[in-house]
Structure formats: structure tokens, C-alpha cells
Structure 1
Amino acid sequence: WNFGSLLGICLILQVITGLFLAMHYTADTISAFSSVVHICRDVNYGWLMRSIHANGASFFFICIYMHIGRGLYYGSYMYKETWNIGVILLFLVMATAFVGYVLPWGQMSFWGATVITNLLSAIPYMGDTLVQWIWGGFSIDKATLTRFFAFHFILPFIIMGVSIVHLLFLHETGSNNPMG
């Protein structure tokens, strides 16, 4: 029943480590991978910051799934506003993790971005236009990486704001957890 608090701690830790990583990252297709290698090898404790940031994302998802599971068990979905904001938070966290996965710009990152963004082309009428907007052109390139870095940088702050709204609604309705 403390997973909400753990999620707050995870979010703060992710933002702090992300800010330190952003100081040395280059969002360019030519030098993105090299900048990640530079962070790990040349920056003091860069390897630690990157490891905390990457593994912190996995821990974040463990906590969020446990938080959702607890909410389902205790019927927290009956408080529709709080629950719906929590679902929005889940999608925002998933989007942040996806664009962050692309940033090292390795082969897995590139092809992951290609496959996942192409799934949006299945949306009727607007899918192809949406994909081209996300890509910033007709293929995944420098504009895509720059956009993904911008999204990855701004989304955690949006998540913080939406989390505060989530807490405000939770304060209004109270928790369904009998332990408090």
C-alpha cells in the first residue's frame, strides 16, 4: 500500500538522474550512441547515473503494476476520476519509457522506433499523417531523435503535474485500502 509513495520517489530519482544524463547527451543520429558511451566511460559516475536511470525505469514499472494491482484488488476503480487519471499516468509513463528507449540510438533503438511508430499508421484516415509528424519527415532520422529527446525531457514534468492532480482527487475521495 506504499507503492504510490514509491512511485513518487522513483519519479524524483528518474528526473534527477535524467537531468544529469541530459547534460552530456547529444540528440544527433551521428553522435547519440557515442555520447552514451562517453557518459558511461568518461563522465565521473556517468555509468552509475545511466544504470540508475535505466534500471529505475524498470523498478518504476514494477511499482506501477503493483499499484494498479492493489487498486484492482481493493476496488479503487470505483472512484472514476482518480482511476482515470491513474490510467492517463500509466500511458504517459509508457510513452516516456518508449521514447527513452530510442535515445541511445543503437540498432535495437532504431528498429524499435520503426516498428512501434509504424503501428500508428493503422489508425484510419490520420495514421500516416501522425507517423510522419512523429518522425518529422518521411523516415526515422535526426528530426525523430530530436523530437523523442524533447518528449523524453518534458513528459516527466507533465507526469509530475498529473500526479499532483491524481493526489488531489485521492484526497477528495480517500483510499479504498483498509490499511489506510
Structure 2
Amino acid sequence: MTLRHHFELRETIATILADDQSVIDAACEGIRSARHEIERYILFDPFFEMSYEPVVVKEGPDIIQKMADAAEIAGVGPMAAVAGAVACAGVRAAHNTGASFCIIDNGGDIAMITDRPVHVGLYAGRSPLSGRYAFCIPPKEDMYGICTSSATVGHSFSFGTADSVTVFSPDPILADATATAICNALTIT
């Protein structure tokens, strides 16, 4: 039976799906650890948190480097990848326990490993497309990301006007940064 767990820690509001409570516990610890590393790094380098452009990271935890690398590729600030990075860290921690099924939805930024097909719905606020479509994701033994950015839903800042931009990738951190970049570029004039 699939368990669903609601997790909140400051700005992180996530839903974790897994088959076992120990997997959920590991995922929660992975999220906590990732947030701790990010928050500690921001104390050292506050510009990392505020920049809307890529930031060079010479030293720092792996999660910080991955966020900076994804931001560089996408052409956005590193915090554009934070939700995907936190979700990825939770799934990675779950996978390290031997889990073959764990999904973390961190505010529309999803990281997963799955041994079964999964349907992921599209939510786009007031758009007529919202709630009408879902993506069927086949089993994914390795990490997989489905990340969404929106100018009209949620609290994140966007330079664009799109209701929803969704990016699929084996790298949830890159998917998050790329979704933000695409959303920023889409504007109605």
C-alpha cells in the first residue's frame, strides 16, 4: 500500500509517496539535510540566494554546486533550482535505503524513482488546461524529475506570464532551473 506523507519545513511544503514508513523517514531526513546545507551556505554567501543570474561557486556542498551548475546551463539564478534540489535529495536518501519507489512533490517540482507506472497531473491555475491532463510516467529505476514553473500559481517570482511550464529530465535540479528559464521567457505582449 502506498503511503502519503505531508512534510513542511519553512518554505518547503512537500508530499512524499512511498511504500514503507522507513522510506518516508529517510526522505524526510534527506530533505532536512539538504535544506540545512543550503541555508548554511547562504549564510556564507547571501548573493547565492538573491541572484537572478548564474553564480560561480568555487567551494561548497554538492547540492550547492549542482544548483549552480544547473543555473549556469539554464541561465537563471541558483535558487531557481532549489525545490528540485531539495526533492532530489529526499529521493536520493530514500533510494540509499534500498527503496525502489519514492516520489517527492515539492510544490510542483517532482523527483522520483518508481518501479511502477505513475500518473502525474498538470495543474495550471485558472488555465482551462488545468486538471484536464496527466502524464503517464513509466517505471524509472534511476532518478527522474518533472518540474513545473508558473508565473500565475505559487509564490515564486517569474519574469514571464505562463500559467505552467513543465520540464522532464533525469536531473530534477536541471529540470527545475530549465522550467524557470522557459517560464521567464514566455510573455504575452
Same structural fold, with TM-score higher than 0.5 when normalized by the shorter chain: no
Q: Which has the higher contact order (CA 8 A, sep 6+)?
A: 1
Considering fraction of residues, name the structure with more helix: 1
Considering fraction of residues, name the structure with more strand: 2
Q: Structure 1 length normalisation: TM-score? A: 0.33
Larger Rg: 1
Q: Structure 2 length normalisation: TM-score? A: 0.32
